[in-house]
């Protein structure tokens, strides 16, 4: 256990030190490049100045004056002058070399037209201390000047070596601020973890951010508070769901038990036993239907629903559902008006979409008074398809609307079961429309009725098939 803890701590320290290492290495490479190119630029300026000076002398006085000009004090020490044409070859070498150990140039190893910086002029070598510049004169003669740059080359190497040692030292030194930052972050995490552990599980009140916390720590506290809020919300929903499930399951199970117990006393009455079995079968179907509905909602919430997308005429699907509920509407003397736009085709799962229409129409009929009217509309805009279901029934209070699509949520908080239902219908509607990339909303006024609004996006066959995969 201790070795794993040490390994984890060391890895954490490395993660914290990496940004410091990156900054140090960037500084090293940037400084090295600046030193290297600056010293090269200085050598190039010096050799170009010498070249222009000798070129001016040649143009004014000819080659005979170059020797006197080359021996003047203004000439850089440790330099050479090379003048070459088909009829002339002149090589002048300075005797006051700053570093006698540097060999003289081997003029046969490089061309008279070469321009070189920090280059060795000896055969078989590549780096050295000579900088060379050449130009073509007006009469076709080539003038080449070189200066001994060994001092600047050595200075560049020494500076880079020192900078490398300093970088290695600072790479090791980076562990100090990295460890400080790591310990600070660990301390903050431990404090937050301690506060979370001390929270009352029954209350889960939000954490208070201290004024001494930095921006990142306050964001972490906000994230924890969001989790606590979601935890309270899920706990409340779970408790309400369990209460509703217990109530909804207890009623049919109690009836099953009562029917079975009563039938045990009627052993000599086959007709009564047959009726009892039929009642048990009906209650079992009710239980099975409720459990299947719960499984459908859980499947939709887990995003594991497999859609069978086919082109559907939405108006035709709505009319099919209305045919099924026409008898129920006639029993309450309810008139249903359906006003669709023509030719609204969308890729959707027919069984799931029919389930949506059935839930909405069933609710509208249940909560509408006798002799009322239900109006359905189906319209298509540029990128959305909208279905509205409007009734003039009991309506919904505004405080219930935000939770209307929650699982097992019932507006009839007094547990009035005269209308019936499991509280799962609208939850199913929301999730089926959601997996079709649509949305649900409701507008309602208590005592005047409600309007459910569903929107589905228009999509091409290719796009819908990709989403389904």
Helices and strands: H and E segment counts in the chain:
11, 12
Do residues 255 and 261 make contact, with C-beta atoms less than 8 angstroms apart? no
Backbone angles phi, psi at 402, to 5 degrees: -60, -25
Neighbours of 42 (CB within 10 A): 13
- Burial class (CB within 10 angstroms; exposed 0-12, middle 13-18, buried 19+) of 16: buried
Task: Please answer whether residues 453 and 441 qualify as being in contact, where contact means their C-beta atoms are separated by less than 8 angstroms.
Answer: yes
State the pLDDT at residue 452: 92
Q: What are the residues whose beta carbons fall under 8 Å from the beta carbon of 198, sequence distance 6 or more?
A: none
Q: What is the set of domains in the chain, with CATH numbers?
A: 2-172 (3.30.450), 202-304 (1.10.287), 309-468 (3.30.565.10)
- Enumerate the β-bridge partners of residue 250: none
Kindly state the DSSP code that residue 259 receives in the 8-state scheme. Answer: H
DSSP 180-192: HHHHHHHHHHHHH
Cα dihedral sign for 330, 326, 280, 416? negative
Distance CA 98, CA 79 (A): 10
What is the dihedral angle through the alpha carbons of 9, 10, 16, 18, rounded to the nearest 10 degrees? Answer: -160
Predicted pLDDT of residue 413: 42
Question: What are the phi and psi torsion angles at 35 (to 5°)?
Answer: -60, -45
Give pLDDT < 70 ranges for the chain. Answer: 1-8, 95-103, 122-128, 195-196, 198-217, 237-238, 240-249, 251, 262, 265-269, 272-273, 286, 289-305, 407-423, 459-469
Q: Are 142 and 84 in contact (CB under 8 A)?
A: yes
**Residue 41, token pair as written in the block:** 């630029």
Q: What is the pLDDT of residue 245?
A: 64
pLDDT of residue 422: 57
What is the b/e burial string over 194-221, where b = at least 16 CB atoms within 10 angstroms of the residue's CB?
A: eeeeeeeeeebeebeeeeeeeeebeebb
* Residue where the block lists tokens 């209307």: 404
Closest CA to 219 of 207, 229, 234: 207
End-to-end distance of the chain based on CA atoms, in angstroms? 44
Quick one: tokens of 457?
A: 């996006």
pLDDT at 101: 62
**Non-local CB neighbours of 245 within 8 Å, separated by 6+ positions:** 294, 408
Cα–Cα distance, 337 to 468 (Å, whole number): 33
Of the candidates 361, 373, 380, the one whose C-alpha atom is nearest the C-alpha of residue 318 is 361
User: For the chain, what percentages of helix, strand and coil (3-state, to nearest 5) are there?
Assistant: 55, 15, 30
pLDDT digit string (tens) for 176-211?
888 888 887 777 777 777 766 766 655 556 666 656
The string of pLDDT tens digits covering residues 407-431 is 666 665 433 444 555 567 787 888 8
Determine contact, residues 82/135, Cβ cutoff 8 Å: no
Q: Which two tokens stand for residue 158?
A: 């020494």
């Amino acid at each position: 256990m201790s070795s794993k803890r040490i390994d984890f701590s060391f890895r954490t320290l490395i993660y914290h030190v990496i940004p410091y290492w990156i900054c140090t290495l960037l500084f090293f490479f940037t400084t090295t490049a600046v030193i290297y190119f600056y010293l090269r630029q200085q050598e190039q300026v010096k050799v170009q100045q010498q070249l222009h000076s000798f070129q001016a002398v040649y143009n004014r006085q000819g080659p005979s004056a170059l020797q006197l000009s080359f021996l003047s004090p203004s000439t850089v020490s440790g330099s050479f002058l090379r003048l070459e044409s088909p009829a002339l070859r002149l090589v002048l070498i300075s005797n006051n070399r700053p570093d006698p150990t540097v060999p003289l140039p081997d003029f046969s190893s490089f061309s008279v037209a070469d321009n070189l910086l920090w280059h060795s002029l000896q055969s078989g070598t590549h780096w050295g201390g000579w900088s060379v510049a050449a130009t073509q004169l007006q009469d076709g003669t080539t003038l080449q000047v070189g200066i001994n740059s060994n001092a600047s080359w050595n200075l560049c190497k020494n500076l880079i070596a020192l900078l490398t040692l300093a970088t290695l030292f600072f790479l090791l030194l980076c562990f100090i601020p990295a460890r400080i930052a790591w310990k600070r972050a660990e301390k903050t995490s431990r404090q937050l973890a301690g506060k979370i552990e001390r929270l009352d599980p029954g209350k889960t009140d939000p954490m208070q951010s201290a004024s001494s916390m930095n921006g990142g720590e306050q964001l972490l506290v906000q994230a924890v508070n969001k989790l606590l809020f979601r935890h309270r919300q899920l706990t409340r929903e779970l408790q309400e769901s369990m209460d509703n499930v217990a109530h909804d399951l207890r009623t049919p199970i109690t009836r099953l038990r009562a029917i079975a117990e009563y039938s045990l006393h009627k052993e000599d009455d086959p007709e009564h036993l047959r009726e009892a079995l039929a009642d048990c079968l009906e209650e079992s179907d009710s239980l099975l239907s409720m459990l299947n509905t719960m499984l459908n909602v859980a499947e939709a919430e887990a995003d594991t629903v497999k859609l069978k997308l086919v082109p559907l005429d939405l108006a035709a699907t709505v009319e099919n559902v209305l045919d099924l509920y026409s008898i129920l509407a006639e029993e309450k003397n309810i008139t249903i008006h359906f006003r669709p736009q023509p030719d609204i085709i969308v890729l959707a799962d027919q069984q799931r979409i029919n389930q949506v229409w059935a839930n909405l129409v069933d609710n509208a009929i249940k909560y509408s008074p006798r002799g009322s009217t239900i109006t359905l509309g189906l319209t298509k805009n540029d990128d959305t398809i909208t279905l509205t279901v409007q009734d003039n029934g009991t309506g919904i209070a505004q405080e219930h609307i935000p939770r209307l699509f929650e699982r097992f949520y019932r507006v009839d908080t007094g547990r009035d079961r005269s209308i019936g239902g499991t509280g799962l219908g609208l939850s199913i509607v929301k999730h089926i429309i959601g997996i079709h990339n649509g949305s649900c909303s409701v507008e309602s006024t208590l005592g005047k009725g409600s309007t459910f609004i569903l929107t589905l996006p228009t999509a091409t066959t290719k796009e819908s098939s990709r989403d389904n995969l």
